A and B are shown apart, each in its own frame.
Chain A
Amino acid sequence: MSSTDVNASRSSVLPRPRLSANARRQRRWGILFLLPWLIGFFAFQLLPILFTIFLSFTNYSGGREFKPGNFDMVGLANFQRLATDPDVLPSMGVTLKFALIGIPLGLIVPLGIALLVNSKRLIGSNVFRTLFYLPSVIPVVAGSIIFGGVLNAQSGWLNLSLQAIGITNPPRWFTDPTWAGFALNLLAIWAVGNGMIILLASLQGVPTELYEAATVDGAGPIKKFFYITIPMISPVIFYNVTIGLIGAFQFFVPALLIGGINGDPQKSLLFFPMHFYRTAFPLSQMGYGSVLALVIFVVTMAATAVLFFFAQRLVYYASGELNS
């Protein structure tokens, strides 16, 4: 068949074989192009997840070579341990609180700044865009050092500013268990750049005819914002919320850097992924660690599914958006 397809494609007498031969060749090319991802997906994602499920039924310890005889099948023991582990619920609480504050912040602040830098009235808006993006390229370790300093209870500039405007007893941030988590929300929202840029691009993609038509109909700026801007950029808002949710459920590196492996003070920075990390790697308990990994996996998937369920009602997709 393949030897004939050159001739077949030249003649338009027989439409069906010509199409199918051409389509088959195109299909072969397409699969070839997808191969890097297909291989990577199986080798680095699908099989490892299945393997994590397998490991969750073992008592494998990372210190030994992985081979039969170096671990036992322990049934549901690791899952029973999940129920009695005193760090599980508090660390879930730390992560949940971070997400509940961080996701709305991560939507509103970038949107506000995108609207600001999109304003025609902003003089030198390109300079603003660049400078607002700047914190996003600062490595997370440097950011942790910086916020450790800015939020220092005595010498930090935030507390000096708060005292200057009359707040005599500002929070002690990283040394106060009630405020340490929120301090990391502030650190996270500093990297506003990616969200801002994506929202900005989508704001600029809203057809100006819509605004013109609304002006003719007598709509004011607030009505235009809620009835045109928000629906038109809703796919990008949804994208930002999804990315924010995933990021919040995986967040822990600055907490590890600032609060150490135990999430000090008083475990207020012991995020769930950090509990996973210290169990699986420094403590090498890979069997039980796999259970914790599966918890992160299932919770993330479930939360995203809920988000997608709501998005179907709330997000406006321009026609043809989903088709290629």
Chain B
Amino acid sequence: MSITIKLFASLREALGESEFQLELAAIPVENEASSVINVASIKTALSARGSQWHDALNQPNLVHALNHKVVYLDAIVADGDELALFPPMTGG
């Protein structure tokens, strides 16, 4: 079971990655009684990759989009989902 992670803009630049697969089985769950993986647990797992990941993913106002919709830390992630992480948008 895996999801696609996409990074954009300054986040993509800081971490040197734009897109990769993440195995859900490798994500520690917050509560052993339920095997729910949410955006928070994904961020925690990615932050453990090193200080650069930790700093980049814990910047204020980071946006999370699950399957092209903005979500928050409690959003549950499922097999096949696409989770994009990026700084605040500056379109128009």
Q: Do A and B bind each other?
A: no
